[in-house]
Each structure stands twice: as C-alpha cells, then as structure tokens.
Structure 1
Amino acid sequence: MADAPINLNRYRKARARAEAKREADENAVRFGRKKAERERARAEAERIARALDGQQRDE
C-alpha cells in the first residue's frame, strides 16, 4: 500500500508561510535598524574615510 495521502492545501499554506517568514527575515535585516544605529554607522564610515584620506601620501 502507498503512503498516506498528502493534504495539498496544508502543504501549499505551509510553503506560503515559510516564504513569508523568509521575506520578513530579509526585511528585518535590511530595514531593522533604528535611526540612531544608522546615523552611528554613517558617522563611523565618514570618520574612517577621513582618516584614510588624511594618510594618503602626496606625490
């Protein structure tokens, strides 16, 4: 005898839930930072860029 029948509606809904969770996790990584964290990261990147520019040798 074959395996038990598969409930296709349950499978389809589970797949849709998994896709929605994957997309939500992606968005949390992309947009999940607070404004202060974004500004701190931007300021740090600017500080590093200024430090590197200041260390360039003149030819």
Structure 2
Amino acid sequence: MGEVVNLRQARKQKARTEKERQASENRASHGRTKAERERDRLTSEKAEKFVAGHRREKPDDPGKR
C-alpha cells in the first residue's frame, strides 16, 4: 500500500523548494563580492578619467561659448 501524503504539506514543501532554487539562481547571477564591485568601480573611473583627459574642450570652460 502507498504512503499517505498530506497534500497541504506537500504543496508547501514544493513551494519552499522552488523558492530556494530561484534564490540560488539569483545568488549566482547577481551576487558579487565586494572586491569584484570595487574592481569594476575603479575600472570605470579609470576609463572616465582617460576619456576626460583626452577631450579637446573642457566641459566646464566658460570662455568657449
């Protein structure tokens, strides 16, 4: 004879499992360490300084209007 299953508990357990699976996917796709975030921030700042340093006209130069 088969095992008796409480459908309410089975439904809740399935929902918990699905929620944990979704959380695991989110951690993998969105979770980054502080070092990774800092590295990306420094890289973007360095690129911005490089571009700003090679501009012909400075954006805050009031005499060139």
Please, what TM-score do these two structures have when normalized by structure 2? Answer: 0.52
- Trace 1:1-59 onto structure 2 (pairs within 5 A): 7-30=7-30, 32-58=31-57
Q: How big is the alpha-carbon RMSD for the aligned residues of Structure 1 and Structure 2?
A: 2.3
Structure 1: gaps (5+ residues): 1-6
Q: Percent identity among equivalent residues? A: 25
Q: How many residues align?
A: 52
Structure 2: gaps (5+ residues): 1-6, 58-63
Query: Over alpha carbons, which structure has the higher Rg?
Result: 2
Runs (4+) of structure 1 exceeding 4 A deviation are none
Per-residue deviation, 1:13: 1.3
